[in-house]
Amino acid sequence: MARINDVGGTEGFGAIDTTDDTEPFHADWEARVVGLFNTLRGQGLFNTNEFRDAIESMPPAEYLAASYYERWFTAICALLERKGVIGPGELDDEGALRWHRAVQLLPRSAASQMSPAYRSVFAASGTFQRA
């Protein structure tokens, strides 16, 4: 059975914008997620195939509702739990992040720049004060 991301051979998605005049990130928190990815992968916590699989294993509705970097962040959180860096009790039943150290990496404005589904994740995680 194909996963939600498997659209090989599917038509009708329209043209891909390949102009180079766009910013690489729409919000500061997206750049921080990439930094978190590079750090954790560079430390050998996971490899690219594990990361891709974590994204592709997201529930279809969650995958479709999430932005590109929200998918990255969700995958990182899943891998942190899978690898035992954070415990099962640190994520709620819906998989919303309760990991305060990750929240502290984000700028104070990050929650307002995320989609509504992910905004509640950070609102539930306490303050945005830095350590």
Domain boundaries, the chain: 28-123
Was domain 28-123 assigned CATH 1.10.472.20? yes
pLDDT of residue 128: 40
- The mean pLDDT value for 38-55 works out to 93
d(CA 64, CA 80): 22
Instruction: For residue 85, name the pLDDT band (cuts at 50, 70, 90).
Output: confident
- Which residue has better confidence, 92 or 31? 31
Give Cα separations from 20 to 24, 37, 124 (angstroms): 9, 24, 37
> Which residues does 81 contact at the CB level (< 8 Å), separation at least 6?
87, 88, 90, 91
Give yes or no for a contact between 45 and 79, defined as CB atoms under 8 angstroms apart.
yes
pTM value is 0.63
Q: Which of 6-10, 48-52, 79-83 has the weakest average pLDDT?
A: 6-10
Is pLDDT at 84 greater than 70 in this prediction? yes
pLDDT in tens, 93-131: 444 554 444 555 555 554 455 555 555 554 544 444 433
pLDDT of residue 129: 40
Instruction: For residue 76, name the pLDDT band (cuts at 50, 70, 90).
Output: very high
Neighbours of 106 (CB within 10 A): 23
Burial code of 46-83, b = ≥16 C-beta within 10 A, e = fewer? beeeebeebbeebeeebbeebbebbbbbbbbbbbbbee
